[in-house]
């Protein structure tokens, strides 16, 4: 994947085939990144094995791998990941839907903007850990609470980006719509929505990792299932290798989710110039 | 509509929410020991503000936030630009970024404590690490989204790489970057509060947790209000900066 | 059923069919009611219990495992959490019915107007040959008494908690001034690292971390066991419910306490039983080998209000609470005998 910012003529003419791009350059350029990661892991293993760093919380990487293997084989890791992902997706969907809705509405309507935005600003700037105790009152300590927390975290970036996208709309586009006599609804559908889509997806991409993070944090604070809970109980059981194994699985899951999102984003935004160059 | 009218609307909605809250409490629909009405929280808030005892924890929390946030912004923009402009750096760093990004930073605390201890350094690192990614991603996306016509123009005019970055890419991606910085600010605030809750003896986050643990709910809500105010002020300041930096953005 | 109604339009049969229909539905209803009644008698009453995954709550799991609760017709739904203060809001909100918490947390809540009820004893520090918790310092550091800790940093898991309280009490008792000691909040799993990294000078640890520290003589040294030295019979933890729930469910609570007590008795009688290791490993997720290494101590069957009162006095002396708490009024009389 090259960028518009690269100034070689090959990119600018955008003639190269996608396949060559994907497997030729992609593999080659990303390879260095993978090697970097491998080197860091080797460093981890050596530092623990050689005793450069002594701590119950710094097991050998090989021990972590072994724990990961056992955890995956026994299905334990799969189960906790599934549990976390379920909550995460529920909260993510809700948060995105609300974020887009409010972003579009408030971005285009002044009255709603003035009345509702201050309230959203307060919600957005209030860190969720601080409001968990009151939330427990109304939502208990199980799934509802956690999904709600996730939704609260997903909403702001999606809202902010959608709102920003709507506000940042090129005036010319709107004027053109006016010239063509488009109705309010049609303007929204044919001009505003497509033009704001890249901003929306940018917000949704950020929100994706936020959703996973909040899902795990919520589980660390209360509950019986999920990765967050597993991380805490492994720490208290002095099983740091299992804990790191779960962290790695979490990273892998997050990476995969992001990749899937990118593929979907590309499919939806294939017409936009930021995608055209890739 | 004049500025005052706009602000007036906002104030009105906040006041109506507060009124609703007060009424719900008076109607006995909630356990008052767990959710006191604003009329009971206000005196506690006044006590904290009037005595000036809010300054020290506020200073501590803001201090950690600002240091971590600044590091995150500088690093995020720099890395974003570099990765956006250089294929090689992108290939080198993107896997690492994508691997670290989905990990909830609190999950990394055990490892961070091993290397950085339990002091301010560890907490600032956590804040910086968490705030880094939105800025980074948005900068990357902003750089990618630069209108190719602008770039072609730059090439035609014979601009150097550096000049192109400075005069075209940076200003063009600024809106995206600033949006990312905005998200990072909230993320940073969440993390600094979380970090204070997990291992600290001072700061707003610690205070809120401490008061919750000793069940002093009224001061706790007072502090949550202060926290909300802090967040709002930070945001307003950010918006002012944004208006100065990207005045050409259509409003 | 709808088919029977619509299918039989035939006049002659309609009355008969309607009769049959009503008979069928009536009998269905009666059967369902009977089944429900039978089911409610035979099936379990559910009690949701919030616990901290430490070995102190083992008797409850023993009672579940051995079927003591089932014999009383109770189904227990255990949910883990991180501690007393985290659990009380949930308890008040009705997210669970019973919780295991520490005495300090309960008293703080009671003082703030939460109406709680002590229903069973949880953890009592007995005179055991081995320690299961205590203050640990780095090996070689000259820390033997509270006075040595003045000007130093001591780690506790939560400030204003029971560990903090007893650390202060011990410092005072052994000749030091607690106000000259800096207390830092460090989560238990991080205490060993912080100690090694010289960010703290001592830490009040619990198992399994305490065990890991004292068995590593090259790095750490045992300093003191504050509970044992300050108040040997201190009741650290207990099971509580809300006064509301307790008043409405006296019978269920009586059954719960009966079954639970059987669990405690079995636990006390079988401290070295491999079955116990299996049970503990199950709910704490600790490896069986690690569990086998821990020194388990006996747990109390009854609540001793006298010792709770002593703790309350300690809380007062250290500025945690003001005023008095009527302990008898908030304790289930059954828990005392």
What's the average model confidence in pLDDT over A103-112?
A: 84
pTM, 2 dp: 0.79
User: Residue C82: pLDDT band by 50, 70, 90 thresholds?
Assistant: low
Contact B68, B192 (CB under 8 A): yes
Residue C135's nearest CA partner among C201, C217, C53 is: C201
User: Residue B96: which of A36, A202, A273 has the nearest Cβ?
Assistant: A36
Q: Among B81, B102, B240, which would you mutate to test the A interface (most chain A Cβ atoms within 10 Å of its Cβ)?
A: B102
The alpha carbon dihedral of C276, C278, C282, C286 has a sign of positive
Contact A231, B110 (CB under 8 A): no
**What is the per-residue pLDDT across B1-12, written as a single tens digit (0 to 9) for each?**
556 667 777 788
Question: How much is the mean pLDDT over chain C?
Answer: 80
User: Residue B215: which of C114, C158, C161 has the nearest Cβ?
Assistant: C114
Q: Is C193's CB within 8 Å of B34's CB?
A: no
- B83: closest CA of chain A, how far (Å): 9
pLDDT higher at A138 or C216: C216
pLDDT value of residue B3: 65
Tell me what ipTM this predicted complex has: 0.80
Question: Measured over all CA atoms, what is the biggest interatomic distance in chain A, rounded to whole angstroms?
Answer: 74
User: Residue B62: pLDDT band by 50, 70, 90 thresholds?
Assistant: very high
Contact B192, B127 (CB under 8 A): yes
pLDDT value of residue A270: 80
DSSP C91-122: HHTTS-SEEEEEHHHHHHHHHTT--EEEEEEE
**Calpha distance C250→B77 (Å, rounded):** 63
Residue A215's nearest CA partner among A204, A206, A200, A225 is: A225
For the domain made up of A59-272, give the CATH fold: MetI-like fold (1.10.3720)
- C160: closest CA of chain B, how far (Å): 8
For residue A245, pLDDT over 90 is answered with yes
For residue C29, pLDDT over 70 is answered with no
User: Residue B183: which of A2, A3, A206 has the nearest Cβ?
Assistant: A206
User: Residue A138: pLDDT band by 50, 70, 90 thresholds?
Assistant: low
Q: Measured between CB atoms, does C188 come within 8 Å of chain A?
A: yes
For residue A9, pLDDT over 90 is answered with no
Contact A118, B15 (CB under 8 A): no
Distance of CA C263 to the CA centre of its chain: 14
User: Residue A1: pLDDT band by 50, 70, 90 thresholds?
Assistant: very low
**What is the per-residue pLDDT across C85-137, written as a single tens digit (0 to 9) for each?**
567 777 877 778 899 888 888 888 888 878 888 888 887 776 666 788 899 99
pLDDT value of residue B251: 38
For residue B113, pLDDT over 60 is answered with yes
User: Residue C291: pLDDT band by 50, 70, 90 thresholds?
Assistant: confident
Neighbours, chain C (3 or more CB pairs < 8 A): A, B
DSSP A3-37: -TT---HHHHHT-S-HHIIIIIIIHHHHHHHHHHH
| H or E segment to which residue C124 belongs | strand C116-124
Q: Is B101's CB within 8 Å of A209's CB?
A: yes
- B215: closest CA of chain C, how far (Å): 6
A160-164, B92-96, C1-5 — which is least confidently predicted?
A: C1-5
Structure token digits, residue A181: 């006599």
The full set of domain ranges for chain A reads 1-54, 59-272
For residue C154, pLDDT over 90 is answered with yes
In this structure, the number of other CB atoms found within 10 A of the CB of residue A75 comes to: 10
pLDDT higher at A118 or C189: C189
pLDDT higher at A3 or C195: C195
A142-146, A201-205, C35-39 — which is least confidently predicted?
A: C35-39
Question: How much is the mean pLDDT over chain B?
Answer: 85
Q: What are the chain A neighbours of B189 within 8 Å (beta carbons)?
A: 125, 127
A69-73, A164-168, C164-168, C253-257 — which is least confidently predicted?
A: A164-168
Q: Measured between CB atoms, does C83 come within 8 Å of chain A?
A: no
User: Residue C206: pLDDT band by 50, 70, 90 thresholds?
Assistant: confident
pLDDT value of residue C6: 38
What's the average model confidence in pLDDT over A117-133?
A: 80
pLDDT value of residue A277: 44
What's the average model confidence in pLDDT over C253-260?
A: 89
User: Residue C3: pLDDT band by 50, 70, 90 thresholds?
Assistant: very low
pLDDT value of residue A41: 93
What's the average model confidence in pLDDT over A30-53?
A: 90
| H or E segment to which residue B178 belongs | helix B170-198
Q: What are the chain A neighbours of C286 within 8 Å (beta carbons)?
A: 237-239
pLDDT value of residue A150: 92
- A215: closest CA of chain B, how far (Å): 9
Q: Percentage of chain A surpassing pLDDT 90?
A: 28
**What is the per-residue pLDDT across B140-179, written as a single tens digit (0 to 9) for each?**
888 887 878 887 888 888 777 777 777 778 888 888 888 7
User: Residue A15: pLDDT band by 50, 70, 90 thresholds?
Assistant: very low
Q: Is A251's CB within 8 Å of B205's CB?
A: no
Q: What are the chain A neighbours of B155 within 8 Å (beta carbons)?
A: 7, 12
Tokens 């729930």, located at residue: C245
User: Residue B235: pLDDT band by 50, 70, 90 thresholds?
Assistant: confident
Structure token digits, residue C235: 């009741």
Find, in chain C, the residue whose alpha carbon is nearest to that of A232.
C82
Q: Percentage of chain B surpassing pLDDT 70?
A: 96
For residue A278, pLDDT over 80 is answered with no
User: Residue A38: pLDDT band by 50, 70, 90 thresholds?
Assistant: very high
For residue C138, pLDDT over 60 is answered with yes
In this structure, the number of other CB atoms found within 10 A of the CB of residue B19 comes to: 11
Q: Is A160's CB within 8 Å of B183's CB?
A: yes
Residue C65's nearest CA partner among C323, C222, C262 is: C262
Q: Measured between CB atoms, does C157 come within 8 Å of chain B?
A: no
The alpha carbon dihedral of B109, B110, B114, B119 has a sign of positive
pLDDT value of residue C103: 86
Q: Domains for chain B: give ranges and CATH numbers.
A: 45-245 (1.10.3720.10)
Q: What are the chain B neighbours of A137 within 8 Å (beta carbons)?
A: 30-31, 34-35
pLDDT value of residue A2: 40
User: Residue C320: pLDDT band by 50, 70, 90 thresholds?
Assistant: confident
Q: Measured between CB atoms, does C85 come within 8 Å of chain A?
A: no
Q: Percentage of chain A surpassing pLDDT 70?
A: 85
User: Residue C38: pLDDT band by 50, 70, 90 thresholds?
Assistant: very low
Structure token digits, residue B46: 């006044």
DSSP B13-34: HHHHHHHHHHHHHHTT-S-TTT
């Amino acid at each position: 994947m090259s960028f518009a910012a690269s100034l070689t003529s090959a990119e600018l003419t955008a003639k190269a085939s996608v396949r060559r791009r994907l497997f030729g350059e992609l593999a080659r350029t990303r390879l260095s990144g993978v090697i970097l990661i491998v080197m860091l892991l080797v460093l981890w293993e050596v530092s623990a094995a050689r005793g450069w760093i002594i701590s119950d919380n710094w097991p050998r990487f090989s021990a972590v791998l072994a724990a990961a293997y056992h955890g995956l084989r026994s299905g334990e890791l799969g189960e906790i990941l599934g549990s976390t992902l379920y909550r995460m997706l529920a909260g993510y969907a809700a948060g995105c839907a609300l974020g887009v809705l409010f972003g579009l509405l408030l971005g285009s309507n002044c009255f709603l903007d003035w009345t509702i935005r201050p309230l959203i600003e307060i919600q957005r700037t209030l860190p969720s850990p601080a409001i968990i105790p009151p939330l427990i009152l109304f939502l208990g300590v199980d799934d509802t609470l956690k999904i709600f927390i996730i939704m609260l975290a997903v909403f702001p970036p999606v809202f902010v980006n959608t709102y920003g996208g709507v506000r940042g709309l090129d005036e010319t586009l709107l004027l053109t719509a006016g010239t063509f006599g488009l109705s309010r609804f049609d303007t929204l559908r044919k001009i505003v929505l497509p033009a704001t889509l890249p901003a929306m997806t940018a917000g949704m991409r950020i929100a994706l990792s936020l959703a996973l993070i909040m899902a795990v944090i919520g589980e660390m604070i209360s509950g019986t299932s999920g990765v967050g809970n597993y991380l805490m109980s492994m720490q208290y059981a002095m099983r740091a290798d299992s804990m790191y194994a779960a962290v790695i699985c979490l990273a892998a899951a997050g990476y995969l989710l992001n990749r899937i999102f990118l593929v979907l984003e590309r499919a939806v935004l294939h017409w936009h110039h930021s995608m055209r160059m890739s | 509509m004049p500025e005052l009218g706009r602000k007036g609307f906002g104030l009105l909605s906040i006041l109506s929410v507060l009124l609703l809250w007060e009424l719900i409490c008076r109607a006995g629909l909630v356990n008052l020991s767990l959710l006191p009405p604003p009329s009971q929280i206000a005196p506690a808030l006044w006590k904290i503000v009037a005595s000036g005892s809010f300054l020290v924890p506020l200073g501590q929390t803001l201090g950690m936030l600002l240091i971590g946030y600044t590091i995150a912004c500088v690093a995020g923009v720099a890395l974003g630009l570099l990765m956006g402009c250089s294929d090689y750096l992108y290939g080198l760093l993107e896997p690492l970024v994508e691997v670290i990004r989905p990990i909830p930073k609190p999950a990394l605390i055990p490892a961070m404590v091993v290397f950085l201890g339990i002091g301010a350094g560890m907490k600032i690192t956590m804040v910086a690490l968490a705030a880094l990614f939105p800025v980074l991603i948005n900068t990357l996306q902003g750089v990618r989204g630069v209108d190719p016509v602008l770039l072609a123009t730059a090439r035609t005019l014979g601009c150097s790489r550096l000049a192109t970055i400075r005069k075209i890419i940076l200003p063009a991606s600024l809106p995206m970057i600033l949006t990312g910085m905005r998200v990072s600010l909230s993320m940073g605030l969440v993390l600094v509060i979380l970090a204070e809750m997990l291992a600290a003896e001072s700061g707003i986050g610690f205070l809120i947790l401490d008061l919750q643990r000793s069940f002093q709910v009224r001061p706790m809500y007072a502090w949550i209000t202060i926290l909300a105010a802090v967040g709002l002020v930070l945001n307003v300041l950010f918006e002012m900066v944004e208006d100065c930096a990207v005045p050409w953005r259509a409003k | 059923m709808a088919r029977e109604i619509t299918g039989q339009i035939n006049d002659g049969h309609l009355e008969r069919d309607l009769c049959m229909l009503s008979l069928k539905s009536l009998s269905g209803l009666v059967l369902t009611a009977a089944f429900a009644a039978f089911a409610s008698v035979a099936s379990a009453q559910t009690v949701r219990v919030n616990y901290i995954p430490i070995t102190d709550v083992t008797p409850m799991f023993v009672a579940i495992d051995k079927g003591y609760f089932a014999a009383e017709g109770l189904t227990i739904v255990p949910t883990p959490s991180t501690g007393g203060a985290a659990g009380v809001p949930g308890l008040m909100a009705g997210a669970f019915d019973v919780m295991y918490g520490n005495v300090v947390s309960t008293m703080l809540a009671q003082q703030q107007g939460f109406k709680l009820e002590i229903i069973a004893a949880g953890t009592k520090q007995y005179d055991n040959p081995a320690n299961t918790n205590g203050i640990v310092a780095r090996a070689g550091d000259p820390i033997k008494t509270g006075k040595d800790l003045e000007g130093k940093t001591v780690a506790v898991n939560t400030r204003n908690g029971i560990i903090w309280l007893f650390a202060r009490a011990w410092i005072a008792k052994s000749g030091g001034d607690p106000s000259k000691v800096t207390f830092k909040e460090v989560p238990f799993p991080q205490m060993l690292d912080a100690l090694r990294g010289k960010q703290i000078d001592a830490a009040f640890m619990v198992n399994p971390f305490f065990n890991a520290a004292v068995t590593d003589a090259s790095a750490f040294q045992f300093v003191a066991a504050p509970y044992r030295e300050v108040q040997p019979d201190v009741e650290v933890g207990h099971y509580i419910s809300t006064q509301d729930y307790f008043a409405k469910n006296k019978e269920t609570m009586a059954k719960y306490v009966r079954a639970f007590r059987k669990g405690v008795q079995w636990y006390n009688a079988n401290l070295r039983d491999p079955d116990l290791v299996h049970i503990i490993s199950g709910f704490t997720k600790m490896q069986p080998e690690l569990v086998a290494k821990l020194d388990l101590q006996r747990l109390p069957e009854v609540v001793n209000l006298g010792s709770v009162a002593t703790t309350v006095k300690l809380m007062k002396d250290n500025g945690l609470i003001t005023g008095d708490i009527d302990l008898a009024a908030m304790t289930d009389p059954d828990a005392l005998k």
